[in-house]
Structures are given as C-alpha cells and as structure tokens.
Amino acid sequence: MTLYHFGNCVALVYVPFYLTYKYSGLSEYGAFWKCIQAGGIYVFTQLCKMLVLATFFPANDGGGQGGMDFVGEFLKATVELADLGGLYLVLMGIPGRSHAKVLTAGVGWAGADLLLSRFLFLWFGARGVEFDWMYIQKSFDSNISLVQHVTTATLVWLWSRHDLSRSLLPIVTVLLLLCSYKFLLMEIFVHATISSPWIELLVRAVLTLCLAVTTLQIYAGFAQSIGIY
C-alpha cells in the first residue's frame, strides 16, 4: 500500500511535467538541454539568495514570541526578486519563438525547484512505513509551482519587450510583484486565519490560476498585435 501511495505521488509530480514538455512543442525544439541550463541558473540564483539571506538576515533565536515579524519577512521576500533576474538571463539565452522561450524557462526553473526542494522529501518520506497526506499535498503543490514558474517567465518576457504597450507595462509590473511576494501573502493569510493545509493549498491554487489566466490574456493580446504565435 505504501508503494502504491508513493507511485501516486510520483505520477502527480512527473506526469504534468512530461505532458507540458511533450505536448507544448518543446520536444520538437529539442529544448531538453536548454531546460537543464535553466535549472543550472536556478541553482546559481538560489545560492546567491541564500548568501544574501545569511549575510543580512541572520536567524533570530529569540523571535517568534510576539507573532509574525511583517517588516523582516517583507525584506526577506524582497530577495525573491532575484528570481526575476535569473529568469531574465534564461530567457535572453534561449533562441526561438516566444512560447518556446517562456515554456523552456518555466519548465527548467520548475524542474530544478522540484529536484532541490521536494524530490528528496517525497522520495524518502512517501516510501516510509506510514503514509501521510502531506506528501499528496506536496505533489499538488509542485504542479501549482509549475504553473507559477511558467507564468512568471511569461511576465518577465513581456516586461523585457520594448514594443509592449505602455498601458500594459504597469499591469505586468504589478503581476510580477505579486508573483514575487505571493509566498509572503500566503504566510500572512495563514497567520491571520490559521487555516488547514488543504485550504492553504486551495487558496494558493486559486491565486496562481488567477495570475496565470490574467497573464495568458495579456500574452495572447500582445502576440496577436505583433503577429507572433
């Protein structure tokens, strides 16, 4: 039974990545190694972020007694803006059509995020003697992260375009900031409501879906206006 649940977790994580790579056209462009390169830049970006966090935001052993430190958490969340710079470097190094660029960057970034933050947790945890629904939640969360990273890559690509309408630039900028501070907003929500993990997962999925749909509408309109598909 444990192996059965472990297989479900692997399927929930692996199948969406495979379907995205296979049926989005990335396999036709031979973008596998570009995804690997995007993952390498992800690793470098995370190391830089860890260095900044360890240098300027050391752990406070005496904190946590007076509630959530909103200012400190906001400053720490600001470091997440480095991901936007990393995605920009990935996008600038990928030739080809726009949809291939953003999908390659998003899938590579999400794949590296999965390997570094969830793979070992699922591999050793979900194969344990006792099964916990926490592993299913992490599997769903990896799918949400895939959509989130592709959305962020699309927004970075739109923001980097010099022919983007000036009326759309503020909207794209706000969406980028929401993507960067989404985890902080989720922490504030959890701290304020003390909700269950399933409700937190549902709220994260709804927020990600709203960001993705809005980004898709902007991208589709922009692509049609300049004649790219």
Range of the domain at 100: 2-226
Residue 98's H or E segment, with its range, is helix 98-114
Q: Decide: 165 and 138 in contact? Cβ < 8 Å.
A: no
DSSP symbols for 120-162: HHHHHHTTSSS--HHHHHHHHHHHHHHHHHHHHHHHHHHHH-T
pLDDT digits (tens, 9 = 90+) for 112-137: 888 888 776 666 665 655 666 777 78
pLDDT of residue 123: 65
Domain total of the chain? 1
Nearest C-alpha neighbor of 228 from the set 117, 109, 97: 97
Name the region of 224 (left: φ>0; alpha: ψ -120 to 50; beta: rest): alpha
Q: What is the mean pLDDT of residues 88-94?
A: 89
Q: Decide: 189 and 200 in contact? Cβ < 8 Å.
A: yes
Which pair of structure tokens corresponds to residue 104? 């390659």
Residue 220's H or E segment, with its range, is helix 197-226
- Does residue 140 register a pLDDT over 80? yes
Q: From CA 150, how far away is CA 219, in angstroms rounded?
A: 12
pLDDT of residue 211: 95
Q: Counting beta carbons within 10 angstroms of the beta carbon of residue 162, is it exposed (0 to 12), middle (13 to 18) or buried (19 or more)?
A: exposed
pLDDT digits (tens, 9 = 90+) for 157-168: 999 988 888 889
Nearest C-alpha neighbor of 38 from the set 91, 80, 97, 79: 91
- Does residue 22 register a pLDDT over 50? yes
- Does residue 30 register a pLDDT over 50? yes
Q: What is the mean pLDDT of residues 57-73?
A: 62
Q: Count of residues for the chain? A: 229
- Does residue 104 register a pLDDT over 70? yes
pLDDT of residue 225: 82
Which pair of structure tokens corresponds to residue 211? 């960001």
Q: Decide: 12 and 140 in contact? Cβ < 8 Å.
A: yes
- Does residue 86 register a pLDDT over 50? yes
Cα–Cα distances in angstroms (integers) from residue 153 to residues 35, 52, 123, 218, in the given order: 13, 23, 28, 13
Q: What is the mean pLDDT of residues 82-104?
A: 87
Residue with tokens 């937190």: 200
